Structure 1
Amino acid sequence: SIGLDVQLGEGVVIHAGCVLGDGVRIGDGSVLYPNVTIYAGCELGRNAIIHAGAVIGADGFGFAPDKGQWVKIPQIGRVIVGDEVEIGASTTVDRGALDNTLIGDGCKIDNQIQIGHNCVIGKHCVIAACAAIAGSVTLADNVIVGGAAMIAGHVTIASGAVISGGSLVMKNITRPGQYTSVFPLEEHSHWLHNAAQIRHLSRLAERVSELEKILKKINLES
């Protein structure tokens, strides 16, 4: 199904079951595999590869509370995808609420990934399978996001940062380097023991601080 005022560049290949909404633009040499959906007004650059079942431009998750109910906030932005971008099967990229959701040139995005509304993904980023990126996240150029990582809304991640698989990012990352927030794998009984100890770290830190004060006092008196 192809809507009104759709523009297809030279050599574009569209496989069976794809849906292109009104005003969609697709650059030269791009390939859409079966059952891809591109919502109205969204744009793909040159040589894009969009794998089966991907959805580009669905409404972002925007609701406001009103008297005990949730009222939908219209999502009137678009999704703009750069050149040489590959998007994996069943990945979803939501349209912006007001501004556009942007995917930079050369990005490689794996299967079953969620990219929320108003995200800005810089050039040549790599995002592995099952990562979840909440709304209004900014990835600078050349960021690598490991599989099943989660990035909270409105976070900014610096160019060259690497997020280990399964990590949860809750605050801005301002310098390049590798960042990890997951427990190493170990036997379940050991994991339970270590997890229980973490609950006491604050109290342990207080005890160490008190001991340091006592030792300092002893040293001054001796």
Structure 2
Amino acid sequence: MTGHFITFEGIDGSGKSTQARLLAEALKAEGRDVVATREPGGSPGAEEIRRLVLEGDPDRWSAETEILLFTAARRDHLERLIDPSLAAGKIVICDRFADSTRMYQGLRGPGLRKVVDDLHRLMIGREPDLTFIIDMDPTTGHARAKGRNGTEERFEDFGADLQVQMREGFLALAKAEPGRCVVIDGDGTPEAVAARVADVARDRLPA
């Protein structure tokens, strides 16, 4: 018995966290066994790393150090939650996964994307069955993210230019992996976007 692994990706402020939650709620209401989780985090050790990487000054860590920290958190998350849940036949819905590391860290220097991919193959070795990329205008998304005034704003503080790069990177990823990635227009009410997501999910999930 194997489960189904669904991830949500997108720039800051795209609404992907809301959409991950709404899909989990919708599938649970249909009687499906769903585990909702997030990255970085999802396991006790990974949550500790989350605080290290998402809080503080933008220059607190180099991109290379972040790659190592995120990979360590992901490995713990995989061992303790994702793999056991999938082995039990559950649907795992994760707010961000390796594609975020490919964008946030992999785009910030020459050769870093290869470092991310090489570490992923070595230490993680799993891709989602389905990835939703919630597409949003970078200026709108960045303003929305900054307006949250939370404590985890370290990546938002890199500025709107990084969001532009990441949007281009996510769209290029979707084009390169159309069997896994589905781009969803993030404009509209959360409910309207959720309806688009749910239509795709129900079409892709086993009956």
Q: Same fold (TM over 0.5)?
A: no
Larger radius of gyration: 1
The structure where strand makes up a greater share of residues is 1
- Which TM-score band (shorter chain)? under 0.3
Normalised to the residue count of structure 2, the TM-score between the two structures is 0.20
Task: Point out which structure has higher relative CO (alpha carbons under 8 A, 6+ apart).
Answer: 2
